[in-house]
Amino acid sequence: MKLQSALNFSHTLLKKAVNPGDNVIDGTAGLGHDTLFLAQLVGQKGKVFSFDIQQSAIDATNHRINENEVQHQCEVIHDGHENVKRYINDQPISAAIFNLGYLPTGNKTIITKPATTLKAVSAILNNLTPNGIIILVLYYGHPGGKEEKNQVLDFAGNLDQHQYNVLKYQFINQINDPPILIAIQKRTKSS
């Protein structure tokens, strides 16, 4: 067995949480990799809500999903993820993923912020199905990144253990601020 990177482990978790026909969220569309992955998991009857504030990310995500012919199950939204409630209303959500930091090929001064990230996560928690999961991959080796990391860890660490299981996954012997994966899973009544 080989230990997985935070990104690969996020996909392993999503595969376990998402079923065909589900509604899911990509909170940071970026280059569209997670949007495409989620679209393949939910199939033609499911829906992916994919958010980004940068036009280049919207364009890249639309290109990727069109190229792979999954655009009919994706809604790519040029808006901040903090406005997620406007788009999902009361629909049940089985999974969401956020890659926090900046768009690697974009303007590195445009970064995710703790206030907007936590507003989005809080809104999704209200719609999360039992055993549903929110994954936050924290890339924090940039100005402002450690502040967001600390606030996300504090928020997740203080969620009620009777309602949520929270996992922290990170390689601790790597240099240069290795990514941290936080997985928040809504518990079922009996678990």
Sketch out the chain's domains with CATH numbers.
Answer: 6-186 (3.40.50.150)
How many angstroms separate the Cα of 98 from the Cα of each of 33, 121, 128, 172? 12, 9, 15, 21
pLDDT digits (tens, 9 = 90+) for 97-150: 999 999 988 888 999 999 999 999 999 999 999 999 999 999 999 999 999 999
The predicted structure's pLDDT at residue 191: 56
3-state secondary structure of 32: coil
CA dihedral for 7, 141, 138, 80, sign (positive or negative): negative
The predicted structure's pLDDT at residue 110: 93
Give the whole-angstrom CA distance, residue 187 versus residue 120. Answer: 19
Half-sphere exposure of 143 (CA within 13 A, CB side): 3
When comparing pLDDT for 31 and 1, which is higher?
A: 31
With residue 137 as reference, give the H or E element that holds it: strand 128-138
pTM of the model: 0.96
* DSSP assignment string, 104-119: TTS-TT-B--HHHHHH
Confidence of residue 181 (pLDDT cuts 50, 70, 90): very high
Give the whole-angstrom CA distance, residue 100 versus residue 114. Answer: 9
